[in-house]
């Protein structure tokens, strides 16, 4: 089954205009967040990736082009220019890197991938969030309901601390709790090819607006509720949270080293 990763957005939340790298390449523990996402999927046996590129896509291509060399021992013959890899990369990944346009919105990127995906069920997520979603369970849920689309519904980490106020007096100053808000779209989708009918060829379409709302209206959008770890990397603060978890050695999304 293909796993589509949307990695082409400009990333309006983490970064400033001056940024030099696309968001999926922002590193946690010395590895791009995109690498962490691929590790997560491949842990569950999903190794065929289609990565939608856009903004600074060449940066992402270069990373994977170099990956095989840079992640293993190599011998270089300077005279001939021949490079000999001692071993291949540890990763058994097939990665298609597809340009879907610099300014395209998410829906339009998905639509542009239709020829590569073909007529099969596929998974899809963003290149900027990690979780410990059980992908087998997610897929089983999707197959069980038979609708066109499943998304993973999560509780968002609160962006601000809450004030507990009584008669204008601040009684308590709370830390940012995981949530007092409802469930949001945490990506980690499973999709049927029928969803392509919901994305127009015309214009620049945002997946979360028209298509997803229409899928919901038609009763074709189901929620796989995930109560465990989920964290998007919208901001540098989020990145630090993830870095700290990684450095502490117990990153919840590092499912590839958890005991089965």
Q: Is 183 in the site for other proteins (CB under 8 A)?
A: yes
Region near other proteins per CB under 8 A, out of 60-68, 79-87, 161-169, 195-203: 161-169
Helices (H) and strands (E) in the chain, counts: 6, 16
Q: How far is CA 37 from the centre of its chain?
A: 6
Minimal distance in Å, beta carbon 220 to other proteins?
9
Nearest one of 13, 243, 254 to 126, comparing CA atoms = 13
Q: Number of residues in contact with other proteins, rule: CB under 8 A?
A: 50
Minimal distance in Å, beta carbon 117 to other proteins?
22
Q: Is 134 in the site for other proteins (CB under 8 A)?
A: no
Q: Is 133 in the site for other proteins (CB under 8 A)?
A: no
Among 62, 85, 162, 258, which residue sits at the site for other proteins (rule: CB under 8 A)? Answer: 162
* DSSP 8-state secondary structure symbol assigned to residue 156: P
Q: Return d(Cα 32, Cα 46) in angstroms, integer.
A: 19
Q: Is 145 in the site for other proteins (CB under 8 A)?
A: yes
Minimal distance in Å, beta carbon 222 to other proteins?
5
Backbone φ and ψ of 138, nearest 5°:
-60, -45
Among 88, 161, 194, 203, which residue sits at the site for other proteins (rule: CB under 8 A)? Answer: 161
Cβ distance to other proteins smaller for residue 245 or 255: 245
Among 160, 202, 248, 249, which residue sits at the site for other proteins (rule: CB under 8 A)? Answer: 160
Among 120, 172, 201, 257, which residue sits at the site for other proteins (rule: CB under 8 A)? Answer: 172
CA distances, 102 to each of 10, 116, 252, 253 (Å):
8, 19, 32, 29
Counting Cα atoms < 13 Å in the Cβ hemisphere of 211 gives 25
Minimal distance in Å, beta carbon 19 to other proteins?
5
Minimal distance in Å, beta carbon 105 to other proteins?
14
Q: Return d(Cα 161, Cα 17) in angstroms, integer.
A: 27
Minimal distance in Å, beta carbon 155 to other proteins?
11
Locate all alpha helices (DSSP H) within the chain, ordered by sequence.
33-43, 57-70, 106-117, 135-145, 210-217, 236-247
Q: Return d(Cα 170, Cα 30) in angstroms, integer.
A: 42
Cβ distance to other proteins smaller for residue 91 or 243: 243
Burial class from Cβ neighbours inside 10 Å (0-12, 13-18, 19+) for residue 211 reads: buried
Q: Which two tokens stand for residue 70?
A: 């840079």
What residues from 236 to 255 belong to the interface with other proteins (CB under 8 A)? 236-237, 240
Q: Which residues bind other proteins (CB under 8 A)?
A: 11-20, 26, 141, 145, 151, 153, 156, 159-163, 165, 168-173, 175, 180-185, 208, 212-213, 216, 219, 221-225, 234-237, 240
């Amino acid at each position: 089954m293909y796993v589509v990763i949307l990695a082409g957005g400009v990333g309006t939340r983490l970064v400033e205009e001056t940024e030099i790298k696309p968001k999926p390449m922002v590193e946690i523990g010395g590895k791009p967040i995109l690498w962490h996402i691929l590790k997560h999927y491949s842990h569950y046996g999903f190794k065929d990736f289609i990565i939608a590129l856009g903004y600074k896509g060449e940066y992402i291509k270069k990373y994977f082009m170099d990956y095989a060399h840079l992640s293993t021992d190599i011998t270089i013959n300077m005279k001939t220019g021949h490079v000999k890899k001692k071993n291949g990369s540890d990763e058994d990944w097939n990665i298609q890197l597809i340009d879907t346009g610099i300014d395209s919105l998410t829906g339009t990127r998905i639509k542009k991938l239709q020829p590569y995906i073909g007529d099969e069920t596929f998974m899809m997520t963003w290149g900027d969030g990690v979780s410990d979603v059980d992908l087998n369970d997610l897929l089983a849920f999707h197959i069980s309901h038979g609708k066109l689309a499943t998304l993973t519904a999560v509780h968002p980490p609160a962006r601000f601390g809450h004030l507990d106020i009584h008669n204008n007096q601040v009684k308590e100053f709370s830390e940012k709790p995981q949530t007092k808000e409802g469930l949001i779209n945490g990506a980690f989708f499973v999709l049927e090819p029928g969803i392509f009918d919901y994305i127009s060829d015309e214009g620049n379409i945002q997946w979360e607006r028209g298509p997803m709302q229409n899928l919901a209206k038609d009763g074709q959008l189901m929620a796989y509720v995930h109560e465990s770890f989920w964290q998007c990397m919208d901001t540098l603060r989020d990145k630090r949270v993830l870095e700290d978890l990684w450095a502490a050695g117990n990153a919840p999304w590092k499912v590839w080293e958890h005991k089965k």
